Structure 1
Amino acid sequence: MVRADAAVNIKVLQNAMAAHFGFSPTYRRVWMAKQKAVAVIYGDWDESYNELPRWVLGVQLTMPGTVAVLRTCPVRVGGQVDDSQAFRHCKPLVSIDGTHLYGKYGGTLLVAIAQDGNSNILPVAFALVEGENAESWSFFLSHLREHVTPQPGLLVISDRHNGIKAALEAPDGGWLPPAAYRAFCIRHVAANFALTFKEKDARRLLVNAAYAKTEVEFDYWFDILRSENPAMCDWANRIEYSLWTQHCDEGRRFGHMTTNISECVNSILKGVRNLPVCSLVKATYGRLAELFVRKGREAEAQMGTGQQFSQYLVKCIEANLRTARHFTVTVYDRDNSEYTVAETTPTGSFSLGTYRVSLGSKTCDCGYFQALHFPCPHALACCAYSRLTWQPYVHEVYRLSSVFGVYQMGFAPPIPEGFWPPYPGPTVIPDPSMRRAREGRPRSTRIRTNMDEADPNRPKRCGLCRQPGHTRRSCPQAAGPSRTAANQ
């Protein structure tokens, strides 16, 4: 069962033991047995640490340009030291986050995630560290800046962790404006907000204000928030607007208000977080190779059809064109492409407002043009009125050539273990202090917040197999494989 799914639930294993062998071992005993099974399948937990540097050297031989940085701490005995590249074609932003490891040894996997112009999620950097603190984030972000994201004007989206704050604000880190900018995930901001203010709809009003693309829209939601409780606005005003609102981000977010793309990768890697460290790295490398092959083929197939832009952009433009049929355009400055656009209802009986559009500066009063970097319905109406094509007003990242550029690099298969080069560095062993407690049931290290509350509209899932339609009590896996076979 562990070979089929390394993340198999301990309760499932307990029930399988009871069904097959007629006795029920304790949770701790099954947990320890699972760790031994993982070691048999994927390699010894302790030796895996020393195996990793040689495997990485093998990858660097087959994949020139691969960057891997290994920093170790010296072993202390009795207080004494014992001496025994792709991202440039993506949107200019990265989402960073950390996720816990759940094997024999604890630790944290730090990830930096980007997104291409076709809304594909792309992991660009990983780091295995002891935990989320200032030193770990400084190590990760310094190498991210040096090897992956050296371009100026980059945006980093993250939660409000103090370790991230310290690393990004370091004078020599390269993350200070104008070289780089920081933005907060609004889900984390709203979760912190909800800890203080329990009023109904207060959290929703704050999120609506954050998503507003214009100052007028922001003021509308903020005034409602103020009428509910002035203290809410005082709380929000203590955070710089450019860090959490979209209308003050100068278009750097490309519409990304959360770190959800990082959370998606965390869920994909959930199974490998139970493995020894070297197997974890191997599995991550293999999944990245598979991702590049699949997405590269998709982009190449779309380019073969003669398309110039990503499917995501085409869908957005088609939706905007349908809306733009009900606009009346007036030209104010043809040389500088300055217009006003009057929006009405489909019947033309009611006015929905007038917007100023500048094709030259790629701006519109609605805020969508400058926030998402492709023409909004008002800008498309201006293009149609002046017989201009809308393609020049689209950011380069949405072109299929850019999307294909992300995945044009191929991964080489790692060389077999017998051909790994010798590693001249120190012998690498796990930090004993990172080992999980030997006694008692293992405790989750996740810090639960309001974001962990269940969505009332989401279908309920079984606590064992995580499938909808039944509960833990009626789960087919509750009595092990024998009961499942009988039900079938």
Structure 2
Amino acid sequence: MRKVVVVDATHLRGKYAGCLLTASAQDENYQIFPLAFAIVDGENYKSWEWFFHKLLSFLPDNDSVVFVSDRHASIYQGLSKVYPLAGNCACIIHLKRNIKTLFKERQLGYLVSKAARAFRMGEFYTTLTEIRSINQRCADYLVDIGLQNRTRSHFLGDRLNIITSNLAESWNSVLRDAREYPVIPLVEFIRKKLVSWFTSRRDVVKDVDAGLTPKVNSLLAASFEICGGYDVRKLDNDEYEVQDLKGASFVVSLTDRSCSCFEFQKLSIPCSHAIAAVLKANVKVEGLVGDVYTIEYAEHVLPPVELNTSNQLADDIAAISLHPPVTRRPPGRPRKKRFFSRGEVKMKKTHIRYCSRCKGNGHNRATCKQAV
């Protein structure tokens, strides 16, 4: 499992309100792997600190762990106390939305995202120069808020391919309807969802013989297609110079599993330059892929044990008298749709007009050549 954890909170819409805190990662096939979830009264410092303490029981604090989140102050405060050694990164999407809100130029959002995703510092500062030529205040703002936790090129840990909190957003989308349920049905919905996910994923990977996941194999196949026509020269033992079609030269070390484009070491997957060097050296590319991408799936999720009496519970749990949380239900009918984040806008639906023959009389609208 890649030790890059995305944490997020989403509001519940049930009778007693509250928040659902989640921690998710990606499995070896680039799929969502929920690690933990908790139902709390609200998104605050005490809730996040308690949640991180529970997470600490199976995810130890060390410098190889990286957390990705939005810029909520309570998350930062909880991580600094419970996970002081772990890295902390801000979601690039949230940064992009904030830039769009503060500065009105349309192209700034694209350039900020491009700068944050750059693998090399040279690419980052080239894009930063473009941003500075459009809006000096925007460039100064990016430098002032810090680059280490908001850009891929300046981050010192292993962030791999996870640079946004889209994992958590996708998980929240799965739970969209279930967030109206009471606590027990909500937890049971999550358990059944995990059971179905893990079962289907085992069926997909059980017949794979290469040792790598289908997603990684597809990425390697794409790199094989890109490297066609690259000029490769051997410099030393397992060290090669690779020149791409644009004339740019890169140094690949198969021993160190590195490339001067930094994509190889940042993602732990050979880039197109490394693939060209592999073909020159006549070695197997599977041996250069990081161990986190090998197939080894988790155990199944068991259903809860039915307990008839409180005597079967642990003493510290049986003595607790549980009551509903003290919350005030807001007036009006609960919202079905969420509020948009700052800087996020609703996309307008495009309506297509068809000719008079396409008014539901068995005519195929998709293939109508007379559509207006």
Same fold (TM over 0.5): yes
Unpaired runs of 5+ residues, structure 2, are: 354-372
The one-letter code matched in structure 1 to 2:102 is T
Among all aligned residue pairs of Structure 1 and Structure 2, give the percentage whose two residues are the same amino acid. Answer: 29
Q: In structure 2, how many angstroms separate the alpha carbons of the residues matched to 1:139 and 1:436?
A: 25
* SS state at 1:257 partner: coil
Contact conserved, 1:363 with 1:369, CA < 8 A, in 2? yes
Displacement of 1:360 in angstroms is 2.1
Q: In structure 2, how many angstroms separate the alpha carbons of the residues matched to 1:251 and 1:454?
A: 35
Contact conserved, 2:7 with 2:168, CA < 8 A, in 1? yes
* Cα displacement string for residues 250-269 of structure 1 (whole angstroms, at most 9, x for unaligned residues): 46121111000111110111
Contact conserved, 1:187 with 1:451, CA < 8 A, in 2? no
- 1:161 counterpart = 2:72: yes
Q: In structure 1, how many angstroms separate the alpha carbons of the residues matched to 2:293 and 2:4?
A: 14
Contact conserved, 1:250 with 1:371, CA < 8 A, in 2? no
Q: TM-score, normalised by structure 2?
A: 0.87
Q: In structure 2, how many angstroms separate the alpha carbons of the residues matched to 1:419 and 1:248?
A: 56
- 1:124 counterpart = 2:28: no
Alignment of structure 1 residues 320-331 onto 2, 5 Å: 320-331=223-234
Q: In structure 2, how many angstroms separate the alpha carbons of the residues matched to 1:459 and 1:250?
A: 44
Q: In structure 2, how many angstroms separate the alpha carbons of the residues matched to 1:309 and 1:194?
A: 39
- 1:291 counterpart = 2:197: yes
Which stretches of structure 1, 4 residues or more, deviate above 6 A after TM superposition? none
* Cα displacement string for residues 246-286 of structure 1 (whole angstroms, at most 9, x for unaligned residues): 11224612111100011111011112111111111122122
- 1:413 counterpart = 2:303: yes
Provide the aligned length of Structure 1 versus Structure 2. 349
Contact conserved, 1:194 with 1:450, CA < 8 A, in 2? no
**Which structure has the higher relative contact order (CA within 8 Å, separation 6+)?**
1
Q: In structure 2, how many angstroms separate the alpha carbons of the residues matched to 1:188 and 1:240?
A: 15
Unpaired runs of 5+ residues, structure 1, are: 1-89, 345-350, 461-467, 470-488
Contact conserved, 2:3 with 2:65, CA < 8 A, in 1? yes
Q: If each structure's helix is expressed as a fraction of its own residues, which one has the higher value?
A: 1
The one-letter code matched in structure 2 to 1:204 is Y
Indicate which of 245, 249, 258 corresponds to 1:354: 249
Alignment of structure 1 residues 90-129 onto 2, 5 Å: 90-129=1-40
Match of 2:103 in 1: 197
Displacement of 1:161 in angstroms is 0.3
Q: TM-score, normalised by structure 1?
A: 0.67
Displacement of 1:426 in angstroms is 2.0
Match of 1:427 in 2: 321
* SS state at 2:207 partner: helix
Match of 2:84 in 1: 176
Q: In structure 2, how many angstroms separate the alpha carbons of the residues matched to 1:93 and 1:208?
A: 21
* Cα displacement string for residues 92-138 of structure 1 (whole angstroms, at most 9, x for unaligned residues): 11100001100111100000001011111111101111111111111
Q: In structure 2, how many angstroms separate the alpha carbons of the residues matched to 1:369 and 1:219?
A: 20
* SS state at 2:23 partner: strand
Contact conserved, 2:240 with 2:253, CA < 8 A, in 1? yes
Q: In structure 2, how many angstroms separate the alpha carbons of the residues matched to 1:398 and 1:227?
A: 41
- 1:310 counterpart = 2:213: yes
Alignment of structure 1 residues 218-257 onto 2, 5 Å: 218-250=124-156, 252-257=158-163
Q: In structure 1, how many angstroms separate the alpha carbons of the residues matched to 2:337 and 2:328?
A: 13
Alignment of structure 1 residues 137-148 onto 2, 5 Å: 137-148=48-59
- Using the TM superposition, name which of 191-200 and 112-121 deviates more: 191-200
The one-letter code matched in structure 2 to 1:176 is P
